[in-house]
Structure 1
Amino acid sequence: MKVIIATPVYGETISTGCHVSVLDAIRFFAREFPHIGFTTHVLSTSFFPMARNVLASLFLAESDATHLLFVDPDMSFSPELVAKMLAFGKPVVGAIYPDKGVDFEAFRTAMQRSTNALQGQLQSVRYVYDGDAIVGRKGKDGKTEIDVVDGFVRVTRAGTGLLLIAREAFETIQTKMPEMWIPEPKEWLRKMGLGEGSGYIQCFDMVPGEDGSHTGSDIAFSDRWVKG
C-alpha cells in the first residue's frame, strides 16, 4: 500500500500544524505499519479546484500508489485518524472538522453552562457538512436512525480538507464519466508537473448550480462520486 499526501497551497504557505501532522503521520506509519509507504505532493496555485485535479492526476500517474490523501495547508490531524480511515477500507473516506467560522452567541451560551473554554469552542464552531450531509433512515418510531460503523457514518458530501480517496474511486469516475478524463492535456497543464503520457482528471471542477453560482470542488467531487 502506498499513500500520496497531496496539499494544494496558496502563496506557498503551509501552517505549522499541517507540517507537523504530516511529519508525525509519516513517522508513525514507518514505526507501526512499515508496509504502508508515503510520499508527498505540494502544489502552489491560486485556484484550488485545478490544483486538486492536477494532484489527483499525478497520483494516477504513479501506478503503485493506492490512496490519495488530501490535506489542506491549514489542517492538523492525528496519525491514528489516518490509520483509522485506511482501515475502514471504503473508496472515499472523510473526516469531520470545523470550518473557519465561529458562532459567538453559541459560545456565550456554552460558557454559561461550562467553564471549560475548549468545550465551549468546540460547541460554537461550525463543522464542514455536518448534519445536512448524513444519510439516515426512518425508524419504527418515526425518528431518524443513523448507522455508525467503526465511528464512521454514510454521508452525501465530505470536505476535501482531510479526504482519503482510493484509486478505485478515480477509476470508477473515469469509467462512468469519461468526459472527466483528458488523455492528452494541454502544455500549460503539463507545466504544472504532469509528465509525458500522463492524463488529466477533472473531477474537482466546479459545477454551476440552478442559480448560476458554482459549487466548491469538494461538493462537485462528492456529487460526482455519489451519482456515479
Structure 2
Amino acid sequence: MEQTEQQTAKLFIATPCFGGLVTQEYMESIIACTGVMRTPMTLSLLGDDAMISRARNTLVHQFFTRSDATHLLFIDADIGFPAEAPARLLAADKDLIAGMYPIKDRFWDKGTQENILRGEPQESASLRYVGETDAMHETWEKGPLMRTHYAGTGFMMISRKAIARMIKHYPETAYRRIDTAGSGDAGLYHALFDASIDPETGTYLSEDFTFCRRWRELGGEVWLDTSIVLTHAGRAAYRGDPSCRVGMVHHKAL
C-alpha cells in the first residue's frame, strides 16, 4: 500500500500493553482524543507479547498489511497526552515525528540546579527526557519543531511512506513468526524495531533508537515537537525519615 498525496489522512494508533493493562492517564487521553479528532482513526492494542521490540514489529505489520491508514502512531500504555496532540503531529507533515516524555526518575544534581537557575519550574527541572541531548540545549530553533538523532517510540508518528522505504531497503529484517501460520509475503514481518550496537560508537541502542538510526541512514529526518506536554505514568516509592521531624520546632529556634 503506497501513500499518495491525494490520500485522506487516516491514523493507526498502536499500543503494546503486555498483560492487557493500560494506565488511567493513557485511557483518559485516548477517550479525550476521540472526542476532538476529525481524522479517521483505528486503535490497536497488543497485550500478549512480553518482548517490546517484537510487539512493535507486530503492530507495524498490522498497520502496513491490514489497514489503509496513512500514519502509524505509537502511544505506549503508560503515556498521558493532550487530546489534540495526535492532530498536531499529523499537521507537522513529517515522516517521523515524536513527542518527548520524561524518564521515570528524578535527578537531584548540578544539571537540575542549572535548569532552575535558567528559569525552569522546580516541578520539571529535575526531569530528564527520552531522546534529550546536549545539542538540544545549545540549539535555538524557531518554533516547537526541531530535528534530532533519536526519539522515543512512546509517542511517535511514522508515515506509511517511511515504513515502505525501510522495508524495501532492509530486506534482511524480514522474518516469520514461529507461532503464526502464513506463506508468501503476507506472512512476513520486519524487525525494523530491534536492539542493536551502534557500529560507530559501540553504544547499545534500544529498539526505538535503532529504528531512528536506520531511518537516518536512508536520508530520513527525525523530528521532535517540544511543545507537547506528555505524562509518563508509573510507580513511585516514598521513603521517609520521621525522626527528622521530632523536635523540629525547637531545632529551628536554635
The TM tier, using the shorter chain, reads 0.7 to 0.9
Aligned to 2:125: 123
Q: Distance in 2 between matches of 1:47 and 1:26?
A: 28
Q: Distance in 2 between matches of 1:7 and 1:52?
A: 8
How far off its partner does 1:180 sit?
2.3
Change (3 A) 1:51 1:126: same
Q: How does 1:191-210 map to 2 (within 5 A)?
A: 197-209=186-198
Q: Distance in 1 between matches of 2:150 and 2:115?
A: 31
Whether 2:106 is the aligned partner of 1:102: answer yes
Whether 2:220 is the aligned partner of 1:218: answer no
Q: Distance in 1 between matches of 2:167 and 2:75?
A: 23
Change (3 A) 1:207 1:107: closer
Q: Distance in 2 between matches of 1:112 and 1:8?
A: 35
Deviations 1:47-105 (A, max 9, x none): 10010000001000134111111011110001222111100001001111111120134
Q: How does 1:26-175 map to 2 (within 5 A)?
A: 26-29=34-37, 33=38, 36-44=39-47, 45-105=49-109, 109=113, 119-132=121-134, 134=136, 145-148=139-142, 150-175=143-168
Q: Distance in 2 between matches of 1:214 and 1:92?
A: 22
Change (3 A) 1:80 1:186: closer
For residue 163 of structure 1, what is the amino acid of its counterpart? M
How far off its partner does 1:111 sit?
11
Whether 2:172 is the aligned partner of 1:179: answer yes
Deviations 1:145-189 (A, max 9, x none): 5443x421011100001000110010110122222234xx23414
- The answer to whether the 8 A contact 2:194-2:208 is kept is no
Aligned to 1:5: 13
Change (3 A) 1:132 1:25: same
* TM-score, L = length of structure 2: 0.71
Deviates more, 1:64-73 or 1:7-16: 7-16
Change (3 A) 1:203 1:17: same
Change (3 A) 1:75 1:49: same
* TM-score, L = length of structure 1: 0.79
Change (3 A) 1:124 1:166: same
Q: Distance in 1 between matches of 2:41 and 2:29?
A: 13
- The answer to whether the 8 A contact 1:99-1:126 is kept is yes
For residue 43 of structure 1, what is the amino acid of its counterpart? L
Deviations 1:127-157 (A, max 9, x none): 11112464x9xxxxxxx65443x42101110
Q: Distance in 1 between matches of 2:115 and 2:165?
A: 47
Change (3 A) 1:177 1:132: farther
Q: Distance in 1 between matches of 2:160 and 2:114?
A: 42
Aligned to 1:18: 26
Q: Distance in 2 between matches of 1:198 and 1:224?
A: 23
- The answer to whether the 8 A contact 1:95-1:163 is kept is yes
Q: Which runs of 5+ in 1 are unaligned?
A: 137-143
Secondary structure of the residue aligned to 1:60 is helix
